[in-house]
A and B are shown apart, each in its own frame.
Chain A
Amino acid sequence: MTEEKKQAAAKEQSQAILEEQRRLRKEKFLSNPALIIGLVGMVIIVLAALILPAVSSVDPNEMKVLDRLKPPGAEHIFGTDEFGRDLFIRVMHGARVSICVGGAVTIFSSILGTMIGIYASYFKILDNILMRICDGLIAIPGVLLAVALMAALGASIWNVILALTVVYTPSIARVVRAGALVAREQVYVEAAKIQGASDFRILWKIILPSVVSSLTVQASFIFAQAIISEASLSFLGVGIPAPAASWGNILQASKQVLSKAPWTAIFPGAFVIISVLSLNLLGDGLRDFLDPRVKGGRKG
């Protein structure tokens, strides 16, 4: 009887602790404007990129000579470009491309970087080799490396993803390795080793979870960087090949007609800025949110 009562009390207590934790987390989330603004901004852009091109019947590549360089108005809310294409739908398609490229680069470089960083942190010899390679790649300025790779590989959406993944993987690897090095010094890793856990288990079940938060923060910055880099590559003409709509392409095209039709630059430009800003805010916000030392409402 009493045993049951004790158990019930203990259960109640742990329930209360969980609830308290949940409440604190909620409070911490609500007192983090950067995180909220960043999250909202990204959700809006991602939804717009996913939904609008799918439901719209307007062809982003349809040229109407009569509608050339129309300023924003009722018919074309963002105006039209020099070929009479509707800018709104082009910018939305561009959002799709930019989010896809940025997202793919972030995912691929996170996976690769995590594997490199985690193995490097755990095996001394691998560490020397892998980190020297990362140092070498980081030493080559990022956009330049991407431009050179694009020159070698040729312009295509997959090559943009490949080139930018090569550029951003080392920085993820660095962050993961730094976190993993701290984690492997912890007592619980030692304990797992003594209990005979395999290296594989220690790496992926014990060390990986402890680096996830710094990885997430870094990943959101990489996402922002990748969007800017993709736009720069396309702007230079070595990114996504021309007729496809990407923010970089639209901006490149607008360069020629800038003084006559500034809206052709303003709208895609604004989207680049808003998405990069949102992602950076998301990263800043996540850093505070995931940092146990930062309490709700107060910033370090």
Chain B
Amino acid sequence: MFSYIIKRIVSLIPTLLVVSVAVFLITYLMPGGPATAMLGMEATKEELDALNEALGFNRPFLVQYFEWLGKMLKGDWGESLFLQQSVLSAIGQYFLPTLSLALLAELFALVFAIPFGILAAYKRGTTVDLALVTSTLFGIAVPGFLLGMFFMLFFGVKLQWLPVAGYVPLKDGLWNHLRYLILPALSLSTVQAALITRMTRSAVIDVLYLNYIRTARSKGLKERTVLLVHALKNAAPSVLTVVGQSFGTLITGAIVTETLFNIPGIGLLTINAINRRDIYVIQGVVLFVTLLYVGVNLTVDILYGIVDPRIQLGKK
């Protein structure tokens, strides 16, 4: 098991190197480069040249890249040009609301998707299945922000059940905290719920007609045991994959949702940074979210090895 985990981590190194180059390129390729971002569009050519010289932006690409990479690895992600704090501390400050939102959305997605996916697979070909599959088609087609707008309008303005926008931190009470997150989380989770439902359905269908399921039934096991123990455990790897992938989409989806619902999370941080051309913050956010995403998928990979013992041996 241990060597399996190590192998997984080592195999990520090239991916992360590519990510780092891509993230570095974002600043490097910016028209006018970082100096323009710092000084603004009105800066004269002399001022720009002076700053480029001072900060070393006119050195060769590789030199700059490796210097940057070294700094990043040491935990120096640069200073925000506007927030009077380091990029990492800004991310730390804005991350909690996003994490809360993403986790709640993931929870909503799973609570709907797993049971409905299993149900659709079990009732395959019936009206129940057709209804569920059709709703997932709609779920996938509706952008989160659009749904968010209608939730705002309906539950917030018309029915006034939940606050329209804003955010209350966890320390002001769990319910208060959640109350503000329910609508954004719901709108964020719909697409993922639909995707996970579809994946669960097809993964369960893939195993439901296999010989060992027939064996399980031939032993007299209840349908519930057949489905939840014998089928689901085999379908779990494919379901886990989408769940892992969905987490990345949720965090980025949060950027749009947070802007809509005015939640002070990573998304708002990013949008503000874009409007102010606060390039190091943008860079930092992309890197941070990507690392998080890669970390989640690594965890999923490791979970595979636990769920399906064949994977560790590379037999599957």
Segment at the interface with A among B89-97, B179-187, B284-292: B284-292
Q: Return the chain A residue nearest B287 by Cβ.
A: A140
Indicate if the CB atoms of B286 and A272 lie closer than 8 Å: no
A61 vs chain B, min Cβ distance (A): 23
CB within 8 A of B249: which of A132, A141, A262, A273? A141
Indicate if the CB atoms of A255 and B282 lie closer than 8 Å: no
Which residues of B are found within 8 Å of A147, using beta-carbon distances? 252, 255, 270, 274
Indicate if the CB atoms of B143 and A136 lie closer than 8 Å: no
Indicate if the CB atoms of A144 and B142 lie closer than 8 Å: no
Does A19 count as interface, using CB distance less than 8 angstroms?
Answer: no
Indicate if the CB atoms of A135 and B14 lie closer than 8 Å: yes
B292 vs chain A, min Cβ distance (A): 9
Does B19 count as interface, using CB distance less than 8 angstroms?
Answer: yes
Indicate if the CB atoms of A236 and B146 lie closer than 8 Å: no
Indicate if the CB atoms of B15 and A280 lie closer than 8 Å: no
Segment at the interface with A among B76-84, B133-141, B170-178: B133-141
Does A149 count as interface, using CB distance less than 8 angstroms?
Answer: yes
Q: Return the chain A residue nearest B281 by Cβ.
A: A151
Chain B 247-273, CB-CB to A under 8 Å as 1, else 0, gives 011011101100110000000001101
Does B5 count as interface, using CB distance less than 8 angstroms?
Answer: no
Q: Return the chain A residue nearest B19 by Cβ.
A: A136
User: 8 Å CB contacts to A: which residues of B211-264?
Assistant: 248-249, 251-253, 255-256, 259-260
Does B55 count as interface, using CB distance less than 8 angstroms?
Answer: no
Distance, CA A144 to CA B249, complexed state (A): 9
Does B293 count as interface, using CB distance less than 8 angstroms?
Answer: yes
CB within 8 A of A251: which of B145, B253, B259, B275? B145
CB within 8 A of A154: which of B31, B137, B273? B31
Does A235 count as interface, using CB distance less than 8 angstroms?
Answer: yes
Which residues of B are found within 8 Å of A269, using beta-carbon distances? 146, 149-150
A22 vs chain B, min Cβ distance (A): 29
A162 vs chain B, min Cβ distance (A): 11
A136-B17, A153-B31, A255-B260 known; A280+B271 contact, CB < 8 A: no
Segment at the interface with B among A23-31, A76-84, A224-232: A224-232
Does A87 count as interface, using CB distance less than 8 angstroms?
Answer: no
Indicate if the CB atoms of A140 and B137 lie closer than 8 Å: no
Indicate if the CB atoms of A280 and B141 lie closer than 8 Å: yes
Indicate if the CB atoms of B18 and A133 lie closer than 8 Å: yes
Does B30 count as interface, using CB distance less than 8 angstroms?
Answer: yes
Task: Report the count of interface residues on B (CB-CB < 8 A).
Answer: 51
Distance, CA A251 to CA B286, complexed state (A): 26
Distance, CA A151 to CA B140, complexed state (A): 27
Give the size range of A's interface with the partner: 35 or more
Does B86 count as interface, using CB distance less than 8 angstroms?
Answer: no
Indicate if the CB atoms of B256 and A235 lie closer than 8 Å: yes
Indicate if the CB atoms of B138 and A273 lie closer than 8 Å: yes
A136-B18, A151-B282, A152-B30 known; A144+B252 contact, CB < 8 A: yes
Segment at the interface with A among B21-29, B44-52, B106-114: B21-29
Which residues of A are found within 8 Å of B19, using beta-carbon distances? 136, 139-140
Distance, CA A276 to CA B194, complexed state (A): 14
Which residues of B are found within 8 Å of A255, using beta-carbon distances? 149, 260
B142 vs chain A, min Cβ distance (A): 5
Distance, CA A277 to CA B138, complexed state (A): 7
B57 vs chain A, min Cβ distance (A): 15
Pick from A140, A154, A232 the residue with the most CB of B within 10 Å.
Answer: A140
Does A52 count as interface, using CB distance less than 8 angstroms?
Answer: no
Which residues of A are found within 8 Å of B279, using beta-carbon distances? 151-152
A249 vs chain B, min Cβ distance (A): 13
CB within 8 A of B153: which of A148, A258, A277? A258
Q: Return the chain B residue nearest A145 by Cβ.
A: B286
Q: Return the chain A residue nearest B27 by Cβ.
A: A152
Q: Return the chain A residue nearest B247 by Cβ.
A: A141
Distance, CA A232 to CA B255, complexed state (A): 10
Chain A 140-174, CB-CB to B under 8 Å as 1, else 0, gives 11111101111111100000000000000000000
Indicate if the CB atoms of A277 and B255 lie closer than 8 Å: no
Indicate if the CB atoms of A235 and B18 lie closer than 8 Å: no
Distance, CA A284 to CA B5, complexed state (A): 36
Indicate if the CB atoms of B15 and A228 lie closer than 8 Å: no
Distance, CA A137 to CA B25, complexed state (A): 12
B81 vs chain A, min Cβ distance (A): 13
A149-B26, A258-B153 known; A273+B271 contact, CB < 8 A: no
A142-B252, A148-B282, A258-B152 known; A232+B137 contact, CB < 8 A: no
Which residues of A are found within 8 Å of B274, using beta-carbon distances? 147, 150-151, 238
Indicate if the CB atoms of A135 and B15 lie closer than 8 Å: yes
Distance, CA A281 to CA B294, complexed state (A): 31
CB within 8 A of A139: which of B15, B256, B260? B15
Distance, CA A255 to CA B23, complexed state (A): 32
Q: Return the chain A residue nearest B28 by Cβ.
A: A152
Does A71 count as interface, using CB distance less than 8 angstroms?
Answer: no
Chain A 273-295, CB-CB to B under 8 Å as 1, else 0, gives 11011001100000000000000
A residues with CB within 8 A of B: 132-133, 135-137, 139-145, 147-154, 224, 228, 231-232, 235-238, 251, 254-255, 258-259, 262, 265, 269, 272-274, 276-277, 280-281
Between-chain CB contacts (< 8 Å), 28 pairs: A135-B14, A136-B14, A139-B15, A139-B18, A139-B19, A139-B290, A139-B293, A140-B286, A140-B293, A143-B252, A147-B255, A147-B274, A148-B282, A150-B274, A151-B273, A152-B29, A224-B141, A228-B143, A231-B143, A232-B145, A232-B256, A238-B274, A251-B146, A265-B153, A269-B146, A272-B141, A277-B141, A281-B137
The list of the 7 closest CB pairs from A to B, nearest first, reads A136-B18, A277-B141, A276-B141, A141-B252, A141-B248, A151-B274, A143-B252
